[in-house]
Amino acid sequence: MRQLSEKDRRALLFCAGALLLFAVMQFVLLPLMEGRKRLEKGIASREKALAEMQTLQAEISLLNRQSNSLGERVARRAPSFSLFSFLEQKGEEAKVRENITYIKPSDTVSSEGGLEQVAVEMKLQAVQLDRLVALLELIESPENLVEVERISILANKKKEQGGLDAVMRVISLSQTKQGGE
């Protein structure tokens, strides 16, 4: 190095400095910046996941409040409430009692929270359209938690004028019967 001229030494030091600067940039600063970008992306994805979890938690809380509300509404209903008798009573009020062919139980679905969904199938024959509409209006009862889940209406095959045959599935909620009750 002593044999090099001053100009060559400066050029050599400049190249060594440039090489050192390149090595620091390549092996220290760039990996740190890439790691920082990766961490920022990770934080952004975690924040998005957190926001989604908070939204889901709010939905779950709302559903729990609604479930508790349904339980309270079922509890406020008369203890002797029966979906069969309710349908018979509404059939009487709509003046279609004589058109009811059958009312039979359908499958019951248990759910959490002490409530179960009770389903009943009801068939009417040769019922007039206005009477059927009146019955449907009477059956749909939010205060008693009763609704028509499915209905099938066909023209009556017999010669009754304007008569319709209808099969409907009506559902309601009730308290789950536990143990020895």
CB-based contact 90:135 (threshold 8 Å): yes
Q: Are 157 and 167 in contact (CB under 8 A)?
A: no
Lowest mean pLDDT among 14-28, 34-48, 68-82: 68-82
Closest to 124 measured CA to CA, from 80, 147, 89, 154? 154
* Residues β-bridged to residue 105: 120
Q: Which residue ranges make up each domain of the chain? A: 1-76, 83-175
Fold of 83-175: Alpha-Beta Plaits (3.30.70)
> How far apart are alpha carbons 16 and 43 in whole angstroms?
39
In this structure, what token pair is assigned to residue 108? 């019951």
Q: Model confidence over 107-127: pLDDT tens digits?
A: 777 666 677 888 999 999 989
The stretch 13-27 carries a mean pLDDT of 92
**pLDDT per residue over 138-165, tens digit each?**
998 777 788 999 999 998 877 656 689 9
Tell me the per-residue pLDDT of 49-78, one tens digit each, with 9 for 90 and over.
Answer: 999 999 999 998 888 777 667 777 777 777
Average pLDDT value for residue range 84-91: 91
Query: Rounded to whole angstroms, how far apart are CA atoms 95 and 91?
Result: 6
Q: What is the mean pLDDT of the chain?
A: 86
